[in-house]
Amino acid sequence: MNLNRLVSWLSHVLAAVAFLLLALGVVERFANWFGYTVVNQKYTPGRLVEFAAAFAIFVMALLLRQLREEMRKGSRAG
């Protein structure tokens, strides 16, 4: 498996995890308003959103790396 495919796959997985954590944080916040919990008060909704943001930062870094590689390929060809 070449490195570009691995990085692309990893960025897709991390983006999905970030989205799921964000959604879980929102659902947890709504559940807390009604006196319920989804994650058993182990993580607060704010903490879940923080984790989602951390994963999103890694996704952005991977996408910027891919963009840099494409720009390098373009400058060599021209």
Q: How confident is the model at residue 2 (pLDDT cuts 50, 70, 90)?
A: confident
Taking a C-beta distance cutoff of 8 angstroms, is the pair 61, 18 a contact? no
Our count of domains for the chain comes to 1
Range of the domain at 16: 3-77
SS3 string, the chain, reads CCHHHHHHHHHHHHHHHHHHHHHHHHHHHHHHHCCCCCCCCCCCHHHHHHHHHHHHHHHHHHHHHHHHHHHHHHHHHC
Could you read off the pLDDT of 25-73 as tens digits, one per residue? 999 999 999 999 998 878 899 999 999 999 999 999 999 999 998 899 8
pTM: 0.84
Length of the chain: 78
